[in-house]
Structure 1
Amino acid sequence: MSQDSFDFRQFSIDQTGCAMRVGTDGVLIGAWAGESCATDASLRCLDVGSGTGLVALMLAQRFPQARIEGVEIEPTAADCASSNAAASPFSERVNIHAGDFLAPSFLSTVPASGYDLIVSNPPYFRASLHAPDRQRTVARHEGDLTLEKLMEQAARFLGPNGLLALVTPYDRLGDLRMYAASSRLMPTRL
């Protein structure tokens, strides 16, 4: 199968029991993030909250010279993303870590020059009803990974000209601007 004909639909559910589904937000950020980057650039990318690995795999398809890492805190989802990456034509360039993006130990995985692109479809619900299953709640509701902490940590891990791309609902725009300013990040596109 050529990289041009790669079908991401096969990654919605796999044999490991991963029940996370491909959603519109992930597809949009996978198609949009890093659009100002040259497609032949040797980028270092990080997908925070990898879920099924969809965004990491879309970045690998769009940027053939890029090295993509994903980090996923929920163990079953991390296994799912790892399986999907291993089964893809991009397996040599996509690596998924099971772990916490906010943990001090994660720092040891960050490249010395930082990341060129960090993407996330973060959990952004704050005060809404939780899903009945833990995996969906972790994926959708702010817990330890708040928007503020995500932006602070991403700012630490970005290289000098690095980009952070997020999907958030419109009602979080005020928070997004405030946290960007406090993290010394400048919005370039909304």
Structure 2
Amino acid sequence: MKILAVAGSNSETSINKLLVSYAASLIQNAEVEIVDMNQFEMPIYKHQREVENGVPQQAIDFASKIDAADILLVSLSEHNGTYSTAFKNVFDWTSRIKDRAVWNEKPMLLMATAPGARGGLGVLEAAAKRFPLHGGNIVDTFTLPFFNDNFDKSAQKISNDEKDSELKEKIAKISAVEIILEK
């Protein structure tokens, strides 16, 4: 089973990258690739750029990674209630690939975390509404509020037992979906 773990942030110290990496580690016997948004830096989407130069290779490469995966784990950082600019730009460019649904109907666990009480709930709600319009097969969602209180950075895992159990249940659910699809 191949897992593509996407942290929707270009921060070098992304808490969403820590969360998605931990989530990916919970799937047994899987090949995991963790995507760094910095690998897909490209000009901000503009229609004239697309007309003049086409879709950048980085967007095509991102789409190829999605296509090669069996399961997508996507953890989005929240900037002013929605996606980070780095993620949104990759999403926008990938959506411009001809005859392409961005997420290609791959089973997805959609996640977010933040230092505050809502745990990235704004971006999670925005993505849960938008992604299905772009081929997002969202199997479940997960949010981790108060990241600094609920995640042990030295152990690289969720320290809140209730939230850890919740994530493990959702990982089991998405793993089961992939097993069913393989049959």
Please classify the TM superposition score into its range, dividing by the shorter chain length.
0.3 to 0.5
TM-score of the superposed pair, with normalisation by structure 1: 0.40
TM-score of the superposed pair, with normalisation by structure 2: 0.41
Q: Which has the higher helix share?
A: 2
